[in-house]
Amino acid sequence: MSQATTLKLVREREPGDNYAFERRSAHRKPLRRQVTALCTDTHGGERRNKICWLQVRDISRTGVGALSAEPLVPGAIISIFFPPQQELGGMDLYGRVARCEPTDDGYAIGVKLISQQQVA
């Protein structure tokens, strides 16, 4: 008689594990960097721009995870400006705020990256 094997689709949550139910298909790379961002919200048909500072925590080819001192509106367009550092050149990334959750350190935000053409 053969033994049946149980397949777990979601791993067990460990204490302090913020990514227990990870749904991203792209691998996250830890990145600790202070950046400037321009967040554009079109709530109520009115376009509002807000400059904010983010502490980037991780990055992947599809998104960015960061901390913000103030809440950002999910669905808002965000332009993130990475300044040049040592031998690395700077870069600008564009995305949409996918989530914003309060934490002890401010607000944890998730940004889904989009192309620059989708920003206009």
Closest CA to 72 of 83, 64, 84, 82: 64
What band does 21 get if pLDDT is binned at 50, 70 and 90?
A: very low
Structure confidence by residue, pLDDT tens digits, 43-54: 777 888 999 999
Closest CA to 111 of 102, 98, 93, 92: 98
Q: Residue 44: left (phi > 0), alpha (psi -120 to 50), or beta?
A: left
> Where do the domains of the chain lie?
29-118
Structure confidence by residue, pLDDT tens digits, 63-116: 999 999 999 999 999 999 999 887 778 899 999 999 999 999 999 999 999 986
- Top pLDDT among 119 and 59 is at 59
For 9-28, the DSSP string reads SSPPPPTT-TTTT---SSPP
| Terminal CA-CA length for the chain | 63
Closest CA to 98 of 117, 119, 79, 72: 72
Rounded-to-integer distance, Cα 36 and Cα 82, Å = 7
The domain defined by 29-118 folds into Thrombin, subunit H (2.40.10)
- Top pLDDT among 18 and 96 is at 96
Biggest alpha carbon–alpha carbon distance for the chain: 68
pTM to 2 decimal places:
0.73
| pLDDT above 90 for 7 | no
Rounded-to-integer distance, Cα 80 and Cα 67, Å = 13
